[in-house]
Amino acid sequence: MSRSLRHGALAATALVFSIATLSACGAGNDAQTLQVRPDNAATAVDSIKIQNLNIITQPEPDAEGPAVISATLFNDGTKREVVERVTLPGTDTTVELKAAKGKGPLVVPAGGRVVIGGKNNASAVIENGRQAGAAGNVQTVAFTFSETGEIELGAAIVPATGFFEDFGPSALPSAKPTPSDSETPGEQSESPSGAEGAEPGTEETEPGTASETETGTQTDDAAADH
């Protein structure tokens, strides 16, 4: 066999071996491990799975305002799970939970899922976003479920920019009135009163002037008579 034929046979054998290896892995019990996983915190305890967990803060590091928690909760069990509370261990901050419809508890139905964060989804709001931590750090988040109990895992803290912009907190609270703005109404209210004060003074002066003129005229007439 020539050298070129031997090289071709070896290359073909290597290709067949590679295909066979990949096929065997894909057909195995751990085929799901080949799927692309999100680069976010995820865990599973009993029938509950938590994926894509993040804490999303204001876009600017020095901005005041709330932060939010985003996550997807899966329930593979036969009973519904109620998210009773969400906390940040080691901090004094509170997390306000709201269902997607704004009323009732946050429920993960049996065999279903709940998305927290984003438009028309359930929400978990941290009122003081600074208490959540600085962007780039990791903060522990604890979910307490009615059946499974408490589950803790670390969440990456990210600003509401780029991909996370649509999942971030609502717009910043409106700015408080500045001193100049608060003084404007006072200045406007003083102007009418000042103008009114000037007009009566003018009217008082005019009658006085007329009286003096008439008095002088009468005096001159009396002198002429004499």
Q: State the 10-residue block means of pLDDT for the chain, 226 residues long.
A: 48 43 39 41 92 95 92 97 96 93 92 95 93 92 97 95 87 47 48 45 45 46 45
Tell me how far apart the alpha carbons of residues 94 and 64 are, in angstroms, rounded to a whole number.
16
Say how many C-beta atoms besides its own lie within 10 A of residue 103's C-beta: 7
Q: How far apart are the first and last CA of the chain?
A: 161
**What are the phi and psi torsion angles at 213 (to 5°)?**
-65, -45
Is residue 101 a contact partner of residue 43, using CB atoms and an 8 Å limit?
no
In the structure encoding, which two tokens stand for residue 207, read together? 């009658």
Say how many C-beta atoms besides its own lie within 10 A of residue 82's C-beta: 14
In this predicted structure, what is the pLDDT of residue 37?
40
Tell me how far apart the alpha carbons of residues 151 and 132 are, in angstroms, rounded to a whole number.
18
C-alpha closest to that of 135 among 217, 226, 56: 56
In this predicted structure, what is the pLDDT of residue 130?
87
Say how many C-beta atoms besides its own lie within 10 A of residue 165's C-beta: 11
Say how many C-beta atoms besides its own lie within 10 A of residue 88's C-beta: 21
In this predicted structure, what is the pLDDT of residue 169?
87
What pairing do the DSSP bridges indicate for beta strands 81-87 and 106-108? antiparallel
In this predicted structure, what is the pLDDT of residue 39?
57
Tell me how far apart the alpha carbons of residues 33 and 78 are, in angstroms, rounded to a whole number.
25
Is residue 48 a contact partner of residue 81, using CB atoms and an 8 Å limit?
yes
Tell me how far apart the alpha carbons of residues 7 and 41 are, in angstroms, rounded to a whole number.
47
